[in-house]
Amino acid sequence: MTTNFDNVFLKHCNNLFKRYQILLPLQENLYKAYEIICQSFLGDKTLFLCGNGGSAADCEHIAGELLKGFLQSRGLDQTRKDELMNVNKDTEKGKFLTENLQSGLKAISLTSHPSLHTAITNDTCAELGFAQQLNALGRKGDVLLAISTSGNAENVIFASHVGRSLGIKVIGLTGESGGKLADYCDVLLNVPEKETFKVQELHLPVYHTLCAMIEEKIFS
């Protein structure tokens, strides 16, 4: 069965696969991930991200690309500009904000909040840090991007379990095997490498491409 990819996806993926032909087997699942995340954002939902070590840094990186302009400037629409201009009649600050703020997408990295993480570690179990946050913040229609190079990170798997129970779609970003995390994913993006640093090297072009195509689809 051939998937009818949209033009935005084809443009960005052709560029990706030209540079990283090794990632071509991910095309179908990358399209599914793109569709799921776009649908969620268009429904005013939230993308949550979790991972450990280098993958935690990737979570912050992805959130940063989505919360503000990535490849586009994302100027505010007129309604939002009017709202900013109508606060306390402070036209100077309102004008500055309308000219400099950008439209963003709701992306939350669950790797933040060190006080909460240490409290959970002390009070219950360190592996529940992501799961506890998602249990409190997650809602049906949201998406969780769960990153684990091995696919076996317990705290990431616990978060994915909680996500599925809430009606949250789970997209896994892993190494070749997918590990135990694969059983909790609606879509698995398992790059064809096994060694941690090599897996991480392939994760970056995958999520940069996702961010670029999502941005263009929603803001163009």
CA–CA separation, 29 vs 24, rounded Å?
Answer: 10
Inter-axis angle of helices 27-42 and 7-19, nearest 10: 140
Which residue spans of the chain are classified as CATH 3.40.50.10490?
Answer: 26-68+105-219
Q: What pLDDT does 208 receive?
A: 98
| Reported pTM | 0.96
Q: Which residues in the chain come in under a pLDDT of 70? A: 1-2
Q: 164 near 170, Cβ under 8 Å?
A: yes
- In the chain, the DSSP E strands lie at 47-50, 107-109, 143-148, 169-174, 187-190
Where does 67-180 show beta strands of DSSP type E? Answer: 107-109, 143-148, 169-174
CATH class of 26-68+105-219: alpha beta
Give the separation between CA 198 and CA 53, rounded to whole angstroms.
Answer: 14
The pLDDT value given to residue 62: 98
Residue located via tokens 């997408």 = 105
Instruction: Give the model confidence (pLDDT) of 41-65 as tens digits.
Output: 999 999 999 999 999 999 999 999 9
pLDDT in the model for residue 1: 43
8 A C-beta contact, residue 102 and residue 74 = yes
Which residues are bridge partners to 172 per DSSP?
146, 188
How many CB atoms within 10 Å of residue 10? Answer: 13
Start-to-end C-alpha separation, the chain: 29
CA–CA separation, 35 vs 207, rounded Å? 14
Distance CA 45, CA 139 (A): 8
pLDDT for 59 = 98
